[in-house]
Amino acid sequence: MTELHALDNVSLKVKKGNVVSIMGPSGSGKSTLMNLIGCLDRPSQETIILDGEDITSYNDNQLAEIRGKKIGFAFQTFNLISSMTAQKNAELPMIFRHIDKNSRTKRARFLLQNLGLERWYSHYPSELSGGQQQRVAIARSLANNPPIILADEPTGNLDANTGEKVMELLTSFSEEKKTILLVTHDPSLKKYADRVIILMDGKISVEQ
């Protein structure tokens, strides 16, 4: 049996409030790194320190609690709930945090409006374009006002103008000392980042 290492001797420290772009070809380890930072995977060795906490040995419930409180995810595949409207999808993380209905509605609509979706609150994912679904996924990632935002190809399904608006919205949160990690193939997103990390074969090849 051949042992494969998705990541090999990667050591990364991200400062609070930084925007970090993680780049590299397919299979370089970008998604694995994001899943580890996002408490979706556990490392086979070494440690992960998140906001001063060593979370390496946390159980599933503890990791779920961390994700709910501290991390917002915008997945490349959207992962929207097909039976929920755009607004309800954006509200979903707040439901898990037991936020009251009026506050959920206000926050979800504020985010969707800022992403140009004010006419689409009551539409279902099947009624939205790929770019619109992408923006709903981004609104959902921001719902609980998390200190850490992980975005996988946040502009991958957007035209240039909409992509720029989305990036301006995302990076504006860094002024509030939110930490943003972008996994992307798009070199144009470098301009939004405080740091650019390039992975190759599971190792940090270049850091800028």
Q: What is the mean pLDDT of residues 82-110?
A: 95
Q: Based on the structure, what is the number of domains in the chain? A: 1
- Whether residue 31 lies inside any domain: the answer is yes
What per-residue confidence (pLDDT) applies to 92? 94
- Whether residue 106 lies inside any domain: the answer is yes
Instruction: Give the pair of three-digit tokens for residue 2.
Output: 């051949």
- Whether residue 1 lies inside any domain: the answer is no
What per-residue confidence (pLDDT) applies to 6? 67
- Whether residue 145 lies inside any domain: the answer is yes
Please tell me the number of Cα atoms within 13 Å of 20 on its side-chain side.
23
Above 60 in pLDDT, residue 184?
Answer: yes
In this structure, what CATH number is given to the domain that contains residue 175? 3.40.50.300
- Whether residue 9 lies inside any domain: the answer is no
Instruction: Give the pair of three-digit tokens for residue 175.
Output: 């002024």
- Whether residue 5 lies inside any domain: the answer is no
- Give residue 73's domain range: 19-207
Question: pLDDT tens across 52-93, in order?
Answer: 888 888 888 988 888 888 898 887 778 899 999 999 999 999
- Whether residue 139 lies inside any domain: the answer is yes
Above 70 in pLDDT, residue 1?
Answer: no
- Whether residue 77 lies inside any domain: the answer is yes
* Distance from C-alpha of 54 to C-alpha of 56, rounded to nearest angstrom: 6
